[in-house]
Structure 1
Amino acid sequence: HSLRLKNDLMRLAASEVENLNAYAKPGRKIFDRVTKIIKNRTTYKISRQTIAGSMGKKTSLGYDLEPDFDVVLFIYDKISSLKPVVDQFYDILLNNLPLQCRSSIIELVAIQAALEGGTNILEAFRRFLQLIKDVDNIYINFFDSVTRPRPLILDAVNPFNNYAKPIKPIHKAYFHQSLKKH
C-alpha cells in the first residue's frame, strides 16, 4: 500500500510541478514588463524587485490551480505613508498597459442588457448596443447596497472592482469600431 501511495503522490506532484513550470516563463515576462514600466516612469527610486505569491515561493494552492504572481517593489525613499506610492504605481500601470478584462466587460454589459431587455432577444441586443455606445454614462451594479458615480461596470465577484474606471478614449473608440464591424 505504501508503494502505491508513494507512486500516486509522485504522479500528483509531477502534475503540479508541470503546472507551475507552464506559468513560470510567461509570468516572468509579465513581471519584467510591469517592473520596467513602473521603474521608467516613477518618481521613486526602486531598490529591488521580487516575485512573491505562490510563484515566488514555488508553491501552489493545490492540484490544477493557477499559481499567483505578486510583483513586490522596494523603494529607497523613506515615506510616512505608502498611499502616494501605490496611487502613482496604479496610475502608471493604468496609463501604460492595455485595457484588461475586455471580455468580462462585454459579458457584464450583455448580462445587464439581457436583464433590461427581458425575454425579447432583439430588445436585449438593442440595449447592449446602446450601453456600449454610451459607455461614459454606463451604470451596471449587481449590488443594491453599493452606489458609485458613473461610469460603473461593477465586478459581480468583487464589488471593489469597477471595470469602467480604466476605460480611456482609445478604448471607447475600440468598442465603437468593433460595433461598426458587426
Structure 2
Amino acid sequence: MQDSQHVSEKNQDHMEKIHGEYFDSEKMHQEMLKVSEEFYQSLNIPYRVVLVASGELNQATSKKYDLEGWFPGFQEFRELVSCSNCKDFPSRKLEIRFGESKTSREKEYVHMLNSTLVAAQRCLCCVLENYSNNDGIVVPDVLRPFMGGIDFIPFVAKPPSKGKGGKKKK
C-alpha cells in the first residue's frame, strides 16, 4: 500500500499523512520528524526535540514529538513543530479501513499521523529573532535564492521605546 498525503486547502503550511499500514506507522512517524529536523537545520535554527510525556497527550495520540526552536528574545525554546502518531484510534472512531475486497485479506484500520512542518507565523518569528542584529535582519543562506539577491534587510526605524504600562514615551 502506498502512503498518500493531503495538503489542506485552507492552511497550505500543514500536511497530513492520512494512511499507512500499521507496521510502518512508527517508521513513518520517525521519517516525518526527520524531515522537520532537516528543515530547521537548513535554516540553522537552534532547536531541540522533546518526546511529549504520555500524561500530556490527548486521548487519540499514541506518541508525540515537539520540535522547539530557540527564541533569543525570550531566552527559551518554543514549539515550532508537533509530530504525532495516533495509530488507529481516530480511524476506529471514523471507521476508516484498508484492504482488498477481492481477496481473503481482512480489512484493517489505518494508522493516522500528523506533523506540522511550518507553522508560518511561529517559524517566521523564530527566523527573525535568530537572524536579527542592531541594524536589521540577515537573510538565512538557504532563503537567499528566493530573495532576488537580497542578503540583508535593514531596519527603517528604531523600535518604539515603551514606558510604564506599555505606552510609548513622548
TM-score, normalised to structure 2, is 0.25
**Could you state the TM-score of these two structures normalised by the residue count of structure 1?**
0.24
When you count strand as a share of all residues, which structure comes out higher? 2
